């Protein structure tokens, strides 16, 4: 197993529950890819066939509202699995876009591999369920932060977590992520 696969399974399966066969089945036809800053890895409406393990770089998830405004849903950095549970489980077109904010390198894993293992491997189900729980805990913390933390603290937390891009992304993208308007963000930055 190469260092990329070792890092991926350390992320996905830290308790080492997957068999060698499960690991092999998961990565059949997987491939390493890269994209430049500004590239879209996934677009709204795409019929996505791969989950992406972000090895290096930073991406943002965003949606476009009916009136054409981009709203940033999340930022993720290296060592994270990118994709949609709705796509994976319900075979529907993707409902958000994923854009590289830095050059990125990622492992493309066929979603069919995940689906097959969900149907055939109890160990994989345990590992994937643990991953899903970690994502929901992350999202719950994010929701609580939006509801109970002052905007200035949310902004400071963002700058601590993503210093590489904090001064490069647009005020519109950052403001929407923080749950404030661009005008409010400008005021906070001037304090």
pLDDT tens for 173-187 read: 999 999 999 999 999
- Of the given ranges (49-53, 107-111, 159-163, 164-168), which has the lowest mean pLDDT? 164-168
In whole angstroms, give the CA distance from residue 121 to residue 26.
11
Separation of CA 92 from chain center: 18
Q: Are 13 and 76 in contact (CB under 8 A)?
A: no
- Quote the mean pLDDT of the chain: 93
For position 1, what pLDDT does the model report? 56
In whole angstroms, give the CA distance from residue 176 to residue 159.
15
Q: Give mean pLDDT, residues 81-93.
A: 91
Q: In 3-state terms, what secondary structure has residue 40?
A: strand
CATH class for the region spanning 3-121: mainly beta
Q: How confident is the model at residue 164 (pLDDT cuts 50, 70, 90)?
A: confident
Q: Are 158 and 177 in contact (CB under 8 A)?
A: yes
Would the pLDDT of 83 be above 80? yes
């Amino acid at each position: 197993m190469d260092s990329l696969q070792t890092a991926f399974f350390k992320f996905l399966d830290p308790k080492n529950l997957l068999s060698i066969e499960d690991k092999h089945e998961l990565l059949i036809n997987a491939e390493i890819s890269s994209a430049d800053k500004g590239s879209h890895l996934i677009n709204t409406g795409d019929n996505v066939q791969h989950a992406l393990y972000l090895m290096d770089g930073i991406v943002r998830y965003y949606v476009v509202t009916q009136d054409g405004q981009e709203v940033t849903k999340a930022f993720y950095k290296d060592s994270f699995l990118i994709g949609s549970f709705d796509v994976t489980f319900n075979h529907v077109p993707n409902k958000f876009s994923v854009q590289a904010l830095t050059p990125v390198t990622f492992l493309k894993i066929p979603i069919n591999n995940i689906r097959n293992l969900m149907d055939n491997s109890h160990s994989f189900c345990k590992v994937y369920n643990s991953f899903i729980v970690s994502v929901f805990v992350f999202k719950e913390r994010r929701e609580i932060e939006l509801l109970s933390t002052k905007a200035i603290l949310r902004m400071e937390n963002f700058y601590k977590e993503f210093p590489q891009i904090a001064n490069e992304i647009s005020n519109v993208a950052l403001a929407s992520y923080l749950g404030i308007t661009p005008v409010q963000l400008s005021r906070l930055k001037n304090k």
